[in-house]
Amino acid sequence: MTSQRILIVGGVAGGMSAATRLRRLLEDAEIVVFERGGHVSFANCGLPYYLGGVIDDRSSLLLQTPASLRSRFELDVRVRHEVVAIDRDARTVRVRDLEAGTESDERYDALILSPGANPVRPEIPGADRMLTLRDIDDVDTAMAALTRAPRTALVLGGGFIGLEMTENLLHRGIAVTLVERNPQVLTPLDPEMAEPVAARLRAAGVDLRLGAEVVALGADTATLADGDTIAADLVLAAIGVRPETTLAAQAGLALGPRGGIRVDDQLRTSDPAIYAIGDAVEKVDALSGDQRLVPLAGLANRHGRLVADVIAGTPVIVRDALGTAVVGVLGLTIAVTGWNEKQLRAAGREIRVIHTHPASHTGYYPGAQPMALKLLVDARTDEILGAQAVGGDGVDKRIDVIATAMTGRLTASDLADLELGYAPQYSSAKDPVNMLGYVAHNARAGLTPSIQWHELAAELAAGATLIDVRTPGEYRGGAIPGSLNIPLDDLRERIGEIPAGRLIVHCKVGQRGHTAVRLLTQLGREAVNLDGGYLTWSAGSAAATRLVAA
Amino acid sequence: MTSQRILIVGGVAGGMSAATRLRRLLEDAEIVVFERGGHVSFANCGLPYYLGGVIDDRSSLLLQTPASLRSRFELDVRVRHEVVAIDRDARTVRVRDLEAGTESDERYDALILSPGANPVRPEIPGADRMLTLRDIDDVDTAMAALTRAPRTALVLGGGFIGLEMTENLLHRGIAVTLVERNPQVLTPLDPEMAEPVAARLRAAGVDLRLGAEVVALGADTATLADGDTIAADLVLAAIGVRPETTLAAQAGLALGPRGGIRVDDQLRTSDPAIYAIGDAVEKVDALSGDQRLVPLAGLANRHGRLVADVIAGTPVIVRDALGTAVVGVLGLTIAVTGWNEKQLRAAGREIRVIHTHPASHTGYYPGAQPMALKLLVDARTDEILGAQAVGGDGVDKRIDVIATAMTGRLTASDLADLELGYAPQYSSAKDPVNMLGYVAHNARAGLTPSIQWHELAAELAAGATLIDVRTPGEYRGGAIPGSLNIPLDDLRERIGEIPAGRLIVHCKVGQRGHTAVRLLTQLGREAVNLDGGYLTWSAGSAAATRLVAA
Ligand SMILES: Cc1cc2nc3c(=O)[nH]c(=O)nc-3n(C[C@H](O)[C@H](O)[C@H](O)COP(=O)(O)OP(=O)(O)OC[C@H]3O[C@@H](n4cnc5c(N)ncnc54)[C@H](O)[C@@H]3O)c2cc1C
Ligand SMILES: Cc1cc2nc3c(=O)[nH]c(=O)nc-3n(C[C@H](O)[C@H](O)[C@H](O)COP(=O)(O)OP(=O)(O)OC[C@H]3O[C@@H](n4cnc5c(N)ncnc54)[C@H](O)[C@@H]3O)c2cc1C
Ligand SMILES: CC(C)(COP(=O)(O)OP(=O)(O)OC[C@H]1O[C@@H](n2cnc3c(N)ncnc32)[C@H](O)[C@@H]1OP(=O)(O)O)[C@@H](O)C(=O)NCCC(=O)NCCS
Ligand SMILES: CC(C)(COP(=O)(O)OP(=O)(O)OC[C@H]1O[C@@H](n2cnc3c(N)ncnc32)[C@H](O)[C@@H]1OP(=O)(O)O)[C@@H](O)C(=O)NCCC(=O)NCCS
């Protein structure tokens, strides 16, 4: 195992994590990192915030330099060096020194590919002035564009990075039009969960165009498919990334169905001397076992460490991926893990869906912030299949807890039993995650069946009666058409007013609806709860209107 | 199961949770709640903050009233009614109407005891003017005392509630002396973890007396065991609670070894018609299987719901208790779960201990706050035995994640694999919890053995050499006596300067120490890392000094 020569392609999240760990395991190995860009170990994830001036020190994005990596880890880090070909038989790579313009061959015992991914660029007229953000050069270019004092910007793509770009351009005082092809922002969310994000963007003055497409760019305008022309001094795109597989494909390494490099559970490619990690690589989905792409820094870093262990002969387990992610936009935090309802329904899974609207902490302690939580549960096994959260404080905490529960194979009902820290400024005696467990348990036990917002219309068409158990004041403030208002506290005495047949009950969030369903059921009525109540229905209906319009 | 008569003693966290859930399960049952105080369903946990004026609306502490519970849940809630005896053979309780002064017998099919716990009051001269906080009457009394404009206050007890009292009295502009019998505050923490809390209290002007005892109270003074007299216009005590078992004991129900009511895994007392929950009851410890007291609202609420399910015939599982808790003090958040090092060592457990000092989120995004994390691990099985955290943002999140991992039976090394949401303002690509997993994995794999701060002196006495791998600047700012400073980045070239024999390596937090140990080990040296680095050693040493002084 001594004096191995290990070459690494790509010197950022995955590649450099592998390099440093390798050095800690193999002091004798020769470790060379090739990076075609001008920087290594930089904080890709910070780029939008540097653009926005939230991070003002460019050097803080550069976590390590070739010099620091040399002195601490005895790494041979060569920037502006591109690996252009792999000769698998000879176990060499061909490296081009981009500054000198020369090429050379470098021998390896083990080769690690962590070449990342490339931003997708739509092929439309004028696309050459479109900027993307992936590395330091990109952000330098974008910063230079800012010095020309643009007043308007177009952002393509309402995903995580597109929203970060939008927020940061607003922060610079630039008017932003955000164009997203789908009828919602943040496609990892279900539409009713994405709705408050869209509302927040609009409230911040963003001209949000959902279900829209940019077909051409002019000098300072952009044309949409519907013919609209919008002002766009600056154009930034974030419509997804594509695994950088040029090198792997040329070398004949197996690619997977999603277009990424295929690796086994030891991060080996189809060539046992070549390993691959990071955004370029397909992962195994934790729920389906299928191949998927998860272009996230956590996995890139983690797999960087694991691949070093594999090469050093330490046993490793590469876990299947859940895909937990979080993003902050305009004071909202949005976090997801696992699958969403769209995916699960498309896959024909039999699921239970739960929406709640808890506060970040107890209502009696000042500063509690609302959030919307969604849990997806396997209807037969009670397995947790996914979760989504949108709100203020504590959103990231709840999704991290649920992701951990999923990894620990706890069921949805088990969430009720989690012992989470409680004091008034941090949570409630029943934490929102516990509460999801309660609701899941009630659904599983058949105590309170529920329907989803998108199932309501069909239920009403089939003759069910909708009872709104909120107060008359709440009802007057906005109600679902066709509902009958009987406040929960009056239900027992006014039971005679309720028509025969199946009942759909709802309140604001589902909680009083649950108590009402229990009461009605025990009084012999067939009753189900409108999951998530008026809030989820409203968000879903707003999203659906747009879906139809689009 | 219909028309049962269910009586409940105690109408707050446990009792009222049982009552409302019972109603949702048994619409026909007669449910009567007896509460000897004047209020039910109040927020005990908010009392210190109401005292401090952080919560200014008293009514916000009253989550429900007898009237609201009647109209929504058809509950018969009788305040100022004390249950004074149980006749188990007759299945009746004797109830005293505290206002009318009358008594009556009430029949039950099932009886639930949730009588809570009583603040411990030291029996010292003058103790009658000492105030405690448990219910609304208590806080009304304390608020009345505040109208007499006290300038000085004495708080007895540096536990969770004592610290909340202290903060809130400071918030009122009152000078506070905090007296704690132990040599540290917050005994659920280990001493080095409690040290920053003590420092924060002192920095806020609290006269903190550790290892001290109050022996007598004067009219506006207090005398300590060491003879000191301190000004104390107001005296508040929070030195623990004792399970309220008067009724249970009188009725001959079995009590457990910790002085609480004994229940089985269905929350039944030794009389199968009588159930008990909440602070009055002993729980089973999740790690040892032993009986323990866990006077926390989460479990009281949870067991309230479970006991209702038991009575309604729904199958339940009562999980053993971890005892996760969190408290906020003067801008610090402190959270714990499971066992601490003191307990584990006392129990003779073979453990691995890990201290880290991560930031709440990436360093390059503004506003990151430091925290100290501690993980306790079974040295043979890698089982997580406990965790502690002290710091700013995100402390509660990390402990909740670890508590969830413990419930899901993940090992310490498994923490490395958790997929936690990462964006620069929420975490790091390697979340602090992942990083604990990395360190745990290195310890388990024998890659980087470590010693604890309290083991250093013995190591040095036995002849080991201490190498400080921080920069000369850091070294000059404060160093461990007897250490040799060779910065990590110079280690390879200055290896010749290092004396023969066993080496203890340290940096500021343990991270560079780890890389140094790996390097030295591979160069053939016997080296171990000082866990937690200079920061943990400093905190531990400060705590130990006090321990010796006390
Ligand atoms: C703007 C932005 C924001 C992001 N925010 C988040 C976030 O908040 N949370 C999160 O989890 N993830 C985030 N990510 C994703 C995260 O940065 C990536 O998942 C991670 O960097 C992937 O690591 P990697 O090693 O696979 O690729 P990279 O970090 O991209 O590194 C690949 C490197 O390989 C080099 N390279 C490619 N081919 C060659 C070659 N042939 N020769 C030499 N060098 C080559 C490239 O120049 C590149 O520098 C963000 C990404 C971007 C761009
Ligand atoms: C100041 C303070 C702060 C706290 N902060 C937190 C916190 O931040 N986090 C946390 O998890 N926990 C906290 N707790 C603890 C939490 O409040 C308790 O764990 C919880 O209330 C226990 O519920 P219980 O039903 O067992 O008892 P309680 O809520 O105390 O209710 C018991 C009730 O029974 C009544 N009773 C007793 N005997 C009789 C009788 N014979 N007849 C009629 N009535 C009777 C009592 O009057 C009392 O109202 C705090 C407690 C206090 C006092
Ligand atoms: C930073 C980088 C060079 C990796 O360096 P690294 O030394 O491996 O990683 P870190 O600085 O995070 O330190 C982690 C190591 O310290 C150890 N460690 C951390 N805290 C410790 C402590 N208190 N005590 C002991 N060890 C500790 C960990 O166990 C780990 O070592 P291991 O891998 O041998 O187990 C690489 O991840 C990188 O280039 N990152 C920037 C790019 C990036 O991640 N972009 C995407 C996100 S913006
Ligand atoms: C509030 C109190 C009366 C209990 O009332 P409750 O109705 O049982 O409890 P909550 O108001 O918390 O609501 C929980 C119920 O709503 C359900 N629920 C919550 N959100 C829901 C949603 N969105 N959809 C459907 N159901 C929902 C839960 O499943 C649970 O019902 P279940 O027990 O039948 O499963 C009792 O806990 C109490 O008196 N608390 C105050 C004292 C206290 O806790 N002190 C210590 C902390 S300060």
Q: How far apart are CA B367 and CA A230, in angstroms?
A: 36
Does B423 contact A45 at a Cβ distance shorter than 8 Å? yes
pLDDT class for A423, splitting at 50, 70, 90? Answer: very high
The answer on pLDDT for B374 being more than 60 is yes
- Take residue B485 and report the two structure tokens written for it: 């400073």
pLDDT of the residue at A303: 98
Q: What spacing in Å lies between the alpha carbon of A531 and ligand 4's midpoint?
A: 16
Q: How far apart are CA A53 and CA A167, in angstroms?
A: 11
Question: Looking at ligand 4, which residue's alpha carbon is closest to its atom 33?
Answer: B21
Q: Which ligand is nearest to the CA of B276?
A: 2
SS3 of residue B111 by DSSP: strand
pLDDT class for B1, splitting at 50, 70, 90? Answer: very low
- Report residues whose beta carbon is within 6 angstroms of any ligand 2 atom: A 422-423; B 9-10, 12-15, 34-37, 44-45, 47-48, 82-83, 114-116, 133-135, 161, 244, 247, 278-280, 295-298, 300
The answer on pLDDT for A518 being more than 90 is yes
Condensed to tens digits (0 to 9), the pLDDT of residues A520-532 reads 999 999 999 999 9
Condensed to tens digits (0 to 9), the pLDDT of residues B189-232 reads 999 999 999 999 999 999 999 999 999 999 999 999 999 999 99
Does A72 contact B488 at a Cβ distance shorter than 8 Å? yes
* ipTM of predicted assembly, 2 dp: 0.98
CATH number of B121-239: 3.50.50.60
Condensed to tens digits (0 to 9), the pLDDT of residues A58-99 reads 999 999 999 999 999 999 999 999 999 999 999 999 999 999
Q: CB of B429 closer than 6 A to ligand 3?
A: yes
CB distance A363 to A443 below 8 Å: no
B514: chain A residues, CB-CB within 8 Å? 24
Does A366 contact B522 at a Cβ distance shorter than 8 Å? no
- Give the nearest chain A residue to B513 (CA atoms): A24
Burial class (CB in 10 A: 0-12, 13-18, 19+), B427: buried
Of A127, A217, A80, A197, nearest to A543 by C-alpha is A197
Assessment of whether the complete model's pTM goes beyond 0.90: yes
Burial class (CB in 10 A: 0-12, 13-18, 19+), A349: middle
The answer on pLDDT for B549 being more than 80 is no
The answer on pLDDT for B550 being more than 90 is no
Does A327 contact B404 at a Cβ distance shorter than 8 Å? no
Q: How far apart are CA A12 and CA A439, in angstroms?
A: 43
Condensed to tens digits (0 to 9), the pLDDT of residues A243-252 reads 999 999 999 9
Q: CB of A297 closer than 6 A to ligand 3?
A: yes
Does A49 contact B424 at a Cβ distance shorter than 8 Å? yes
Count of alpha carbons within 13 Å of B184, Cβ hemisphere only?
22
Which position among B25, B45, B199, B316 bears the catalytic label? B45
Burial class (CB in 10 A: 0-12, 13-18, 19+), A456: buried
| Residue B300, strand partner residues | none
Question: Looking at ligand 4, which residue's alpha carbon is closest to its atom 27?
Answer: A511
Question: Looking at ligand 2, which residue's alpha carbon is closest to its atom 35?
Answer: B10
pLDDT class for B3, splitting at 50, 70, 90? Answer: confident
Closest Cα of chain B to A237: distance in Å? 19
Q: How far apart are CA B463 and CA B534, in angstroms?
A: 20
Of A58, A76, A59, nearest to A67 by C-alpha is A76
- Take residue B300 and report the two structure tokens written for it: 């009281």
Which position among A25, A43, A45, A326 bears the catalytic label? A45
Domain layout of chain B by residue ranges = 5-118+242-311, 121-239, 331-444, 450-549
CB neighbours of residue B444 within 10 Å: 17
Q: Are strands B241-243 and B234-237 parallel, antiparallel or unpaired?
A: unpaired
Q: Please report, as a single letter, which amino acid is at residue A508.
A: K
Backbone phi, psi, residue A242, to 5°: -120, 130
Of B284, B384, B303, B292, nearest to B336 by C-alpha is B384
- Take residue B319 and report the two structure tokens written for it: 């999980």
Q: What angle do CA A527, A532, A538 make, to 5 degrees?
A: 110
A45 is catalytic: yes
Question: Looking at ligand 4, which residue's alpha carbon is closest to its atom 37?
Answer: B17
| Average pLDDT, integer, range B516-527 | 98
CATH architecture type of domain B331-444:
3-Layer(bba) Sandwich (3.50)
Choose which residue among A275, A296, A306, A329 to substitute to test ligand 1 binding: the one with the highest number of ligand atoms within 8 A of its C-beta.
A296
B450-549 CATH choice from 3.40.50.300, 1.10.760.10, 3.40.250.10, 3.30.390.30: 3.40.250.10
Burial class (CB in 10 A: 0-12, 13-18, 19+), A250: exposed
Question: What are the distances in angstroms from CA A351 to CA A338, A354, B29?
Answer: 14, 10, 33
| Average pLDDT, integer, range B236-262 | 98
The answer on pLDDT for B287 being more than 90 is yes
For chain B, how long is the longest CA-to-CA vector?
89
Tell the residue number behind the tokens 């706050």, with chain if given.
Answer: B369
pLDDT of the residue at B446: 96
B314: chain A residues, CB-CB within 8 Å? 445
| Mean pLDDT value across chain B | 97
The answer on pLDDT for B546 being more than 80 is no
pLDDT of the residue at A1: 46
Question: Looking at ligand 4, which residue's alpha carbon is closest to its atom 35?
Answer: A438
- Give the nearest chain B residue to A448 (CA atoms): B24
CB distance B360 to B394 below 8 Å: yes
- Take residue A51 and report the two structure tokens written for it: 């653009």
Closest Cα of chain A to B327: distance in Å? 6
Of A55, A425, A434, the CB nearest to B365: A55
Does B519 contact A27 at a Cβ distance shorter than 8 Å? yes
| A142 Cβ neighbours under 8 A, 6+ residues apart | A51, A131, A133, A236
| A173 Cβ neighbours under 8 A, 6+ residues apart | none
- Give the nearest chain B residue to A70 (CA atoms): B489
Closest Cα of chain B to A136: distance in Å? 14
Does B421 contact A400 at a Cβ distance shorter than 8 Å? yes
Condensed to tens digits (0 to 9), the pLDDT of residues B425-474 reads 999 999 999 999 999 999 999 999 999 999 999 999 999 999 999 999 99
Question: Looking at ligand 2, which residue's alpha carbon is closest to its atom 53?
Answer: B134
Tell me, yes or no, if the two domains A121-239 and A450-549 fold the same way.
no
Q: What spacing in Å lies between the alpha carbon of A117 and ligand 1's midpoint?
A: 6
Q: What spacing in Å lies between the alpha carbon of B86 and ligand 4's midpoint?
A: 29
| Mean pLDDT value across chain A | 97
- Give the nearest chain B residue to A365 (CA atoms): B55
Q: What angle do CA B384, B386, B392 make, to 5 degrees?
A: 120
The answer on pLDDT for A219 being more than 70 is yes
CB distance A543 to A183 below 8 Å: yes
Distance of CA B296 to the CA centre of its chain: 9
Three-state SS sequence of B31-62: EEEEECCCCCCECHHHHHHHHCCCCCCHHHHE
Condensed to tens digits (0 to 9), the pLDDT of residues A171-191 reads 999 999 999 999 999 999 999
A324: chain B residues, CB-CB within 8 Å? 419-421
Q: How far apart are CA B47 and CA B164, in angstroms?
A: 9
CB distance A32 to A6 below 8 Å: yes
CATH architecture type of domain A5-118+242-311:
3-Layer(bba) Sandwich (3.50)
Of B87, B75, B94, B96, nearest to B5 by C-alpha is B75
Condensed to tens digits (0 to 9), the pLDDT of residues B250-267 reads 999 999 999 999 999 999
pLDDT class for A546, splitting at 50, 70, 90? Answer: confident
Q: How far apart are CA B470 and CA B482, in angstroms?
A: 15
pLDDT of the residue at A212: 97
Q: What spacing in Å lies between the alpha carbon of A548 and ligand 4's midpoint?
A: 37
The answer on pLDDT for A47 being more than 50 is yes
